[in-house]
Structure formats: C-alpha cells, structure tokens
Amino acid sequence: MNRHQLPVLNGHVAESSILTDGTRKKIHPADVRGRFLRARRLVFVALIALWLLLPVVRLGGHPALFLDVEHRRFFVFGATFNPQDFWLVFFLATGVGFGLVYATAVLGRVWCGWACPQTVFLEALFRPIERLVGGPREARLRGTPLPRRVLKHALYLVASAFVAHVFVSYFVSASSLAAMMRGAPSAHPEAFGWMLATTALFYGNFAFFREQTCVALCPYGRLQSVLIDDDSLVIGYDEARGEPRGKKGKTTGDCVDCNRCVVVCPTGIDIRNGLQMDCIACAQCVDACDEIMDKLDRPRGLVRYDSLRGLRGETRRILRPRVWLYTGLAALGLIVFFLAARSRTSFEATLVRQPGAPFSREPDGVRNGFFVHVVNKKAEARRYVIEAEPAEGLRFVVPVTEVDVGPLTDHRVPIFVSAPSDLRGRPTVRIRVRDDEEVRVVEATFLGGAP
C-alpha cells in the first residue's frame, strides 16, 4: 500500500470504528497481555495518583493546584497568582502546545496512547468495569440480583461521579468539597450543579462516546499528517517480513492473518493497512502480535514501535531539520518565559483618577483627586508605604501613608494634589509604593493648569 494514500484497499474502506456509510461500529477490544500494557498501566497509576494528590497535598499552606475562580486566586505548586497574572497563561498554553508538537515529531502519538486523560480514564477505570461485568470475566458476577447491563452502567455512573468530584475539588479545594458533601446540595447549588454536569459529561463520554472522542472530535489526530514525518516513532507493520500473509506453512510471510492485532485495537483499525489517523499508538497490537509470534517460535517485532523509514529497512534520523528548529524554538520559549516570570511582581500599584470631574478649581488653586490602587499578589497580608515624590508647584495630601492589604486582595488610598491657579502645563504626579521587598512608582498627569 502506498503510504501517501488514504487507507482504502481494493475499493473498500479499511478497518475502523467508522463504517463506509458514516455510521459507527461499536468497539469492544479483546483483552491483551504484554510488556507495553504493563508499562502503560504503571504510567496510568502514576498519572492517576498525581491527579488525586494535586488538590490534597499542600505546598506553602495551600493545595499544590487550586484554581479558586470564585475568589480570583490561583495556587500552583507553591506559587500564588491572581487575575493580574493572567497574561502568563499565554506562555503556559503555547508551551504545552509546542511541547506536544515537539514530542509528536520525535515520539509520534505517545501522548495519545500513554498520557491523554481520555485514554488514562477509559483504560484504567471504565474498561476494567466493562470487562468485569460484561466481558470475559462476567461469570464472576453470576447470581447478582441486577442485570449485568444495569450493573455495568451503575458502576459507570459511580466512576463518573468520582472523577467529577475530584475535578470539582481543583476549583473549591478538597477540604471544602468534603464539607460540601456532608451538607445539603441546596447550601452550595453552584458546586453541586457543576458536579452533576461534569458527571453527566464523563458518563456520556466514557460509557458511550469513547473512541469517537479521538477519531471524530479531537483535532490532534487530524494534525498527524503535518506533525509526523518518516523519522517519527510510530506503531507500524513490517510489510516486507509479514507478506504474503497466510496460515503457517502455506506462505512465506510471518503474518498468519489471525486478526489478533485488529480485535485488541481500541479504535478498531487494522495496523497492517499502514499509518492511520485513528491509531493512538497504544501498542496493544504490538503486545498481541508478539504473543502470537512467541507461540509460532518466530521473532517478535512484526508489529512494533519504529519509524516509517525504519519499517522500510532504512536508517532512522533522530536529529533532522525540524528537530533542530523545534529545539531552537524551545530554547527561545524558555528564555522568554524566564524573562516574563522575572518581571512578575509581588504587588501591583496603579494611580487612577477619582470618579467625577477630572479637576476642580478652588479659591486657592486647582485640585486633582486620585486613588492609589494596591493589589497584594501574595498569600499573606502585607504592609505598604505610600509616599509622594515632590514636584515643583504641586502640593500633596496623603491621608494614609501606610496601609495593610490582606492576602490576594486590594485596597484604594485617596490622594489629593493641588497647584496654584497660575500653574502652567501638565506636570507629572508621581507616587511611590513600597513594601519591604519592592518599590513601585506610579504616575499620572495633573490637569487644570494653564496652557
């Protein structure tokens, strides 16, 4: 098969979860054992443990990851952020996106098969329920008073509710969630509503939609053709070794056409048709084929992790132009992020004009009213000193020279600036705000002077 063509063979569409008429073929992958499945399960356990611990483990007095949207404060691995730091999300989002592009160019769809939450939750939580209740192990549950289908979906709902509660804990904190669960839903309707909505979403996804999220909804698979080249690591079939396929002893190829690689695939494809958009690089077909090769006393690796170049018997190039380009862009991104993070301050201060007329004329001159807006971006209360920088012709009245601002809150301090009636031009008003770590100077223009 030409690797640059769509997987259409002999006039019909290759194996997939989507049939030729656009309808869906339900996929129930067979169980499989092997080294890659064991490794993936270890990765799943580690990722789920991390996911469970992040809202529970406390760093600096707060959960390791706590996105408190209600109070507009965010705690990330001991660091504290507020809405004024939202611009850093740009660097986070582009870093994650670029990291995925980099990983794909080198390791193919390793994210999809090994770390994507869709794969992790489906294979680690929901697929075992299906196999326990309605699959090869259903005999264990004989005698249960519930029909297997009802029991299976009841367990799906319990698993979905569990995932939803942990998800909500990232936004209300684990301790607050525990208190809410002990109280009535009417006492916290917003959190309860979000829990119900996310439970329904997870249940619909993992109980019914499943692989269609990867095949039809996720755009990442559709970008595969531009992210992967002949040297990227993919799951592939060694056509030169496997063909012509047939029963043992009746053909020269190593593939015995047992279809084991097809029945274990979670997206229902036949890897022997070449690299396809539906492949999530989970390596279940690799374990299945290796198991058959062991039984036939043939070498493993008929289906294996390799590059398209390697599957053709050529040497794979690790360092190639796009990798050098991505490395340079990654280094540039790290430098920009480092400089952006260094520019972040522990507090924000701005000088804003008071509502109403921009200035007022009085018998002894012109007066402008301002507010010094101080935002404490730290997780503890801080004291700030407010001082006016002397300016020729300007008189300052600072009613409060020291202000205590609570953690992740703000405070406004009024300041009045006067000038004689014969003041000419628009002098600059400068106010210095400092704590025991930093000094900020904020400015505004004095209005009302003669031209």
* Mean pLDDT computed over 331-353: 86
Where in the chain do CATH 2.60.40.10 domains reside?
347-445
The Cα angle at residue 327 between residues 324 and 331, in degrees rounded to 5: 140
Average pLDDT, the chain: 89
Q: What is the pLDDT of residues 262-302, one digit of tens each?
A: 999 999 999 999 888 899 999 999 999 999 999 999 999 99
Q: What is the pLDDT of residues 172-186, one digit of tens each?
A: 999 999 999 999 999
DSSP for 421-450, written as a single string: TT-BS-PEEEEEEE-SS-EEEEEEE----B
Question: Quick one: pLDDT at residue 423?
Answer: 85
* Mean pLDDT computed over 434-451: 89
Question: Quick one: pLDDT at residue 10?
Answer: 43
DSSP for 320-351, written as a single string: -HHHHHHHHHHHHHHHHHHHHHHH--SEEEEE
Q: What is the pLDDT of residues 380-423, one digit of tens each?
A: 899 999 999 999 889 999 999 999 999 888 999 999 999 998 88
* Mean pLDDT computed over 333-347: 83
Question: Quick one: pLDDT at residue 5?
Answer: 41
Is residue 19 very low, low, confident or very high in pLDDT (cuts 50, 70, 90)? confident
Q: Is residue 1's pLDDT more than 50?
A: no
**Architecture of the domain delimited by 347-445:** Sandwich (2.60)
Is residue 145 very low, low, confident or very high in pLDDT (cuts 50, 70, 90)? low
* Mean pLDDT computed over 108-136: 90
Q: What percent of the chain has pLDDT over 90?
A: 62
Question: Quick one: pLDDT at residue 206?
Answer: 96
Is residue 24 very low, low, confident or very high in pLDDT (cuts 50, 70, 90)? confident
On whether the CB atoms of residues 285 and 261 are closer than 8 A, the answer is yes
**Which of left, alpha, beta for 304 (phi over 0: left; psi -120 to 50: alpha)?**
beta
Read off the amino acid at residue 42.
Answer: L
Q: Is residue 8's pLDDT more than 60?
A: no
Q: Is residue 241's pLDDT more than 90?
A: yes
Provide the whole-model pTM. Answer: 0.84
Lowest mean pLDDT segment, chosen from 44-58, 75-89, 234-248: 75-89
Contacts of residue 137, defined as CB under 8 A and 6 or more positions apart, other chains included, come to 131
* Mean pLDDT computed over 218-246: 91
Closest CA to 258 of 34, 32, 35, 20: 32
- Which pair of structure tokens corresponds to residue 74? 């965010």
Its sign, for the CA torsion 259, 264, 268, 274, is negative
Q: Is residue 136's pLDDT more than 60?
A: no
Question: Quick one: pLDDT at residue 30?
Answer: 92
Q: Is residue 146's pLDDT more than 70?
A: no
